[in-house]
Amino acid sequence: MGITARDVMDTHYHTLSPRDTIAEAVNLFRRASRKEGKRIFGMMVTDDDGHLRGMLSMYDILLFMRPKHVHIWGEMEDIELGGLLETAFKKARNIQVGDIMSTDLVTVRPDTHLMMVLDVMIKKHVRRIPVLEDQRIVGMIYISDVFTFFFKDLSRGDPDRT
């Protein structure tokens, strides 16, 4: 048996509720990053029974915050951003995690080979993958952990490593 998702997954995962506001989600990203000692910009979204319902990432939030007519903004060097950004934040206050989360999810099982996990991350352009066993969340794999894992093994065979 080779290296599998179980060997790399983080079992100290954090979750959001679909009813959390975007502001609450951003605060949870911050708190989780401090606690885990690494930057966390995406979390699983679970229902009251703990079942996976979606994922919310920094990208989803930025996509929502992006002005609709962003191509025009680029040409306007003299526009005051202050008040307009405030309007955008006010709008975001009414938006919940469940409104903008991604629901077309890619998941793996704990016994999925790490090379398959890497392949999925690259092909699907995802940075984090939930690990499910019998529809139950057991962990999360971050691309940074996969990278660190490979780097550790690669550098082990390098005589010039410091």
Q: How far apart are CA 77 and CA 62, in angstroms?
A: 21
* Shorter beta-carbon distance to another protein: residue 1 or 76: 76
Return the residues of window 47-66 that contact another protein according to CB under 8 A.
60, 63-64
* Shorter beta-carbon distance to another protein: residue 10 or 47: 47
Q: How far apart are CA 108 and CA 137, in angstroms?
A: 10
Of 31-39, 101-109, 137-145, 152-160, the window that binds another protein (rule: CB under 8 A) is 101-109
Burial class (CB in 10 A: 0-12, 13-18, 19+), 87: exposed
Which residues are at the interface with another protein (CB under 8 A)? Answer: 60, 63-64, 67-69, 71-73, 75-76, 79, 84, 87-88, 91, 94-96, 98-101, 103-104
